[in-house]
Amino acid sequence: MSNSNPKVWLITGSSTGFGRALAEAVLKHGDSLVATARKPEQLNELVNQYPETAKAVRLNVTNQTEVQAAVDTAIQAFGRIDVLVNNAGYGLIGALEEVSDEQIRRNFETNLFGAINMIRTVLPVMRQQKSGHIVNMSAIAGFSNELGFSIYGGAKFALEGVSEALYGEVAPLGIKVTIVEPGPFRTDFIGRSLDRAEHSMDEYQETVGKFLQFLDKINGSQPGDPDKAAQALIQVVNSDNPPLRLVLGKYAYSKFRKKIESLTAELDAWEQLAASTDFETAGAR
């Protein structure tokens, strides 16, 4: 495909799901790509198909040595990094009381600290270029959480908080930031990429248990199309004025809007009490 303004992408977690769909779409669009995975041999077909524009790199985002090596590979191969997509991650379902300490820490290490590692390593490159776009893959659970996703959604909430501040910090440097919030898409998230609580408790079967049943029921028939999501991301990255938040899918859009309406109603209901806690002489800033 002809592309008058080719970009260099670095995508984490490129072997399956969103990452794989986006990697294929980026290369078909005529851009260059450093695709990363824990098992880079899973990307051989992609590299063989696009030998001039695709590089595969082994990467565990919690390993700073491998993070630096991935960034160095991109610079050595293509001279720049225009787009970083923090896609690597996985889910964890279970009531807060059911999941283990190890599961909690491991999930935050990948979904939050792994993304932070990537951002902090790529930023010097983008600052020098005076351009770049950081795309952080969150989830609708990162804005409006679900029962059983206290840890997974909590990690995504934290990533969104980081992204909001980062958005303002790097805007004067020519760098853009977008948070992506998909609903249920037809990937392997519910299957291979969903860790489950080590201990199940009867007390949570009517709450977390029902949500898990719902996930298992829709697995394989999720409404979201990963290929269409990939095209949407390419469109956003090529936009002159990309959004801070990109909500993907009707389910996520509806859930996002309901959360906003609920927050507004609650804020209005408690406005008087909130205002009463200031000193009498304090003025609005």
Active site residues: 138, 152, 156
Rounded Cα distance between 178 and 173, Å, is 15
Please, what is the Cα angle at 110 between 107 and 114, to 5 degrees? 150
User: Largest Cα–Cα distance in the chain?
Assistant: 70
Neighbours of 117 (CB within 10 A): 21
For 104-171, the three-class secondary structure string (H helix, E strand, C coil) is: HHHHHHHHHHHHHHHHHHHHHHHHHHCCEEEEEECCHHHCCCCCCCHHHHHHHHHHHHHHHHHHHHHH
**158 contacts 55 by C-beta, under 8 angstroms:** no
Structure tokens belonging to residue 131? 């351009």
Rounded Cα distance between 258 and 69, Å, is 42
